Every structure is written in structure tokens, then in C-alpha cells.
Amino acid sequence: MKISPVEQLFTLFNETALILQEEISCSYLEAIAETGENLFQGSILQAELSELTVKRLKKQYQEIQLEKYSNEEIRKAFQLVILKGMNENVQPNHQMTPDSVGMLVGYLVEKFMKQPSFRLLDPAVGTGNLLTTVLNHLHKEVSSIGVEIDDILIKLAYINANLQEHPVQLFNQDSLEPLFIDLVDAVIADLPVGFYPNDVRAADYQLKANVGHSYAHHLFIEQSVRHTLPGGYLFFLVPSSLFESEQALLLHEFIKEHVIVQGLLQLPASMFKNKASAKSIFVLQKKGEGVLPPKQALLVNLPNLSNVVEMDKILLKMDKWFQENKG
């Protein structure tokens, strides 16, 4: 039975990572980053390896040439080894954005962003899976920026972008600290959900809680709006219960003051373990001179994303909305 290109690459990433994990005594996720860097640089960079191990690795690296694979094949294979590593290390706050959702975000970015080239920010870039999925589905020239506080995740994002040859500027820092970047045309983010522990830093935000810790996902929205040009678009994966919390009134007021709601796309419940973990895609536009609200916001309840017939109907409905509101 012939194995797929993604399976071939997964096997290569996995087997070489396991060799490195054992030889240099690191975690599996660190070993994935090491093997990815070797592939990108075209040489074995770990000086402490034995001659025999270097020979084994060289043989495996030579068997598969990355240039034979598409960016999506590389991304999917890299995503699978990262998921394996995350499952082994149990990282509950680092769930990867599903492929189908990433592609849908890419479709929306393509539709809303009319200019042939633009600057894109992902302030919660993680391993770069959402960002590179979107970049792989855009037919435009995009200059990208990613911010991530976790050392291992940003190293994986760096490898992920390099293997797919995407020029991405990466910053290893807390995204809610000051960001020293130029304003961008668009933002994408699978927002980290929960409380932000740094009350002193949160005090600089309009969306800070009146009592207790502030919601990190609210602060991420505000930080993203701050770093977007007037008229720029923001595409967030948010909890479907975003406006049901005790801090929802603050968010309502902030949105009314600073942005225009362009759309809310409810993802199918079947994608999530329970109702509490359900998510939606929230599309906003920063207010600015000449920026007008749509005749009506794009409100969609998405069917199961694997249901081709129903998805085609929804995409036709969305295309009609774009013609009427963004034509």
C-alpha cells in the first residue's frame, strides 16, 4: 500500500526526532525543533552526536528531499509530530487550531483583504500552524509577524515557517507587554482563553476587570486593535460564550467605541467536546475615516465542515454577502 507524502514526512520527522531525543537527552518537542533545523540548514548541527548517529541521520535526511513536497504537505506532517509531542507532554493550553478552521480563516482573509500585499500579525502564534495555514491559502504578498511567550512553541513556529519558506518575523515575549512593531493591516488569532495573571500590566488596558483578574482573550482583542491600522481587519477565534461572561459589558462598550463588527461565524458544535468549549470566528474592522459598517453583519451558523453540500450552500451565501457589502 502506497503511503501519502504527509505520512512519509511524518515518519522522517518522527524517526529523526526520536534519535535526537535519545542522543541529546531533550524532550520530544525540542527534538522536533532540532531535526527541523537540520533539514532547513541542510546539515547536522548537533556537535555532540556520535559518528554513527550522524551517519544514521544523514541517511534518513537524504532519503526525502523537501523540495518535492508542497507547503501544505510539510505543514500537515510537522503539525502531526507536534501533536504527538504535545499529547506526550500534556500541554492543555496549547491546542492546535484544526486545519479546516485555519482554511476557513484563510478564505475570510482572502475575501476581506482587497490589497495585493499587506502586513499580518498573529499575537498568539503558538507553533505557527494557524498562521502558515492562512499563508498557504492566500494568493497575495504577505509580510507576517508572530508573537509567542513560550520558548519551545516559538522555536517550532520558526522551524515551521522556515521549512515552508514563509518570511515571518517572530517575537518571543508576552503579547500583552508593549509590542515594538509597526501597525499591521490585518490580525489573525486563536485567542488564549482564561484569566491573565499580571494585574499590573492589565491595568494599562481599557478592558481590564474592575475586580480580580482580567480575561486574557479580552486583552488580546484590545492589544490587536491597538496594533491595527484604521480600516484594518481582525479575525479572531473566540469562545462562542464571549458575550455571556461577567466582563462582557466592558467588551461590548470597547467594540462599540473602536471597531465595526463585520461578521460572526459559529463553528459546528460537533467540532468541540462540549458546549462550553465551542468557538466562533469573529471578524472586526478597526474604525477609521471613510470606514462604513456593512448593510448587515455576516452571521453564519456553519454546518459540519466535512459536509460538502451544506458547506457549498454556505459559501454561496457568503459570496453573495461579499458582493453586496464588499463589492
Architecture of the structural domain at 99-326: 3-Layer(aba) Sandwich (3.40)
- Start-end of H helices in 25-95: 28-41, 51-63, 71-89
Select from 1.10.150.470, 3.40.50.2300, 3.40.50.1000, 2.40.420.20 the CATH code of 5-89: 1.10.150.470
Give 90's pLDDT tier (boundaries 50, 70, 90).
Answer: low
- Pull the grid cell for residue 197: 495573571
Same fold, 5-89 and 99-326: no
Ramachandran area for residue 90 (φ above 0: left; ψ -120 to 50: alpha; else beta)? left
* pLDDT > 70? residue 91: no
The model's pLDDT over 224-268, given as tens digits with 9 standing for 90+, comes to: 999 999 999 999 999 999 999 889 999 999 999 999 999 999 999
Task: For residue range 180-226, list pLDDT tens digits in order.
Answer: 999 999 999 999 999 999 999 999 999 999 999 999 999 999 999 99
Compute the distance between CA of residue 73 and CA of residue 246 in angstroms, rounded to an integer.
Answer: 43
pLDDT reported for residue 29: 94
Residue 48 pLDDT: 92
Where exactly are the structural domains of the chain?
Answer: 5-89, 99-326
Does residue 276 have a pLDDT over 80? Answer: no
